[in-house]
Amino acid sequence: MEKLMRKFFLFLSNNKFFTRLAKKYGLRCGAGRFVAGETIEDAAAAIKKLNEKGLVVTLDHLGEFVDNEEEARERTEECIKAIKVIGEQQLDSQLSLKMTSMGLDISDELVMENMRKILEAGKKHNVFITIDMEDYARCGKTLDIFKQLKKEYDGLGTVLQSYLYRTVDDIQELNVYKPNLRLVKGAYKESPEVAYPNKADVDENLKKIIKIHLLNGNYTAVASHDDHMIEYTKELVKEHNIPNDQFEFQMLYGIRAEKQEELVKEGYKMRVYVPYGNDWYGYFMRRLAERPANVAFILKGIFKK
């Protein structure tokens, strides 16, 4: 049943009709739990509250699969605006972005132009930028652009997904750049030809790439809500005397808030992935696909009097 629900929500995440409806009617149906509002002002207020609890943040203006130049430039300006707000309000936050929002599917020239504008703003305001990883079809191109931009900008990281067969090779190839990487399981619907279909294999591969990246001496963001993965990381760094300033834990906004605060109290850096914006539908559906138990929470919220 859980696999069927996962496939169902992943199918919905790519449905353009429902995406348009979601933009029109706003953050309803429980999405407000996972999304910090529609504006940068909403997001900044949420970040301040998290910072007060000792949590750090990476901020994401939601949106993906942009297919026209005008919208890609608008998304770029929104990212630059967010960077300025982070800098001016002295928020403890980085920025995450999807390159399909910046024109990845339109032209190489456009996405590179927009990315350089964002990275220049990040450099000016001392805000680190992470390129989110998207589906397998865009993985190779995303990493190629990351490598090119990493030669020009220090404050840049990206994401690798443990459900892809190629990831171990990718992490070894990227080692020459000494990259800051967020390591995740992955949340897109992929063919078994390119991705592990079984959760156990995905989990084992995540442990493998966490170990490789940490032992390579690189900064590692372990992005998981899984207690077993968190404990594995704690034991690994203890066994190999890896300092706490070489890694951090990351979790999504609205999920396991108590655990997030607990990790801070234990002395670990805990970064919360905070999304905002009106193009929230695809992100929200993938959160439901990752953890179908969230559906019960949302239904309770809808029908609660």
Residues catalogued as catalytic = 132, 182
Nearest to 114 by CA among 70, 158, 154, 147: 70
Across-strand partners of 271? 56, 250
For residue 134, report the phi and psi dihedrals to the nearest 5 degrees. Answer: -110, -145
- The secondary element (H helix, E strand) that includes residue 43 is helix 40-52
The residues, ordered by sequence, that sit 6+ positions from 61 with a Cβ below 8 Å of its Cβ are: 40, 75, 78, 79, 82, 97, 101, 275, 276, 277
- Structure tokens that stand for 108 in this block: 């190489």
CA 80 vs CA 54, 62, 112, 262: distances in Å: 25, 14, 15, 32
Whole-number Å distance between alpha carbons of 293 and 175 = 37
How far apart (Å, rounded) are the C-alpha atoms in residues 231 and 286? 25
Distance CA 126, CA 277 (A): 23
Q: What is the DSSP letter of 212?
A: H
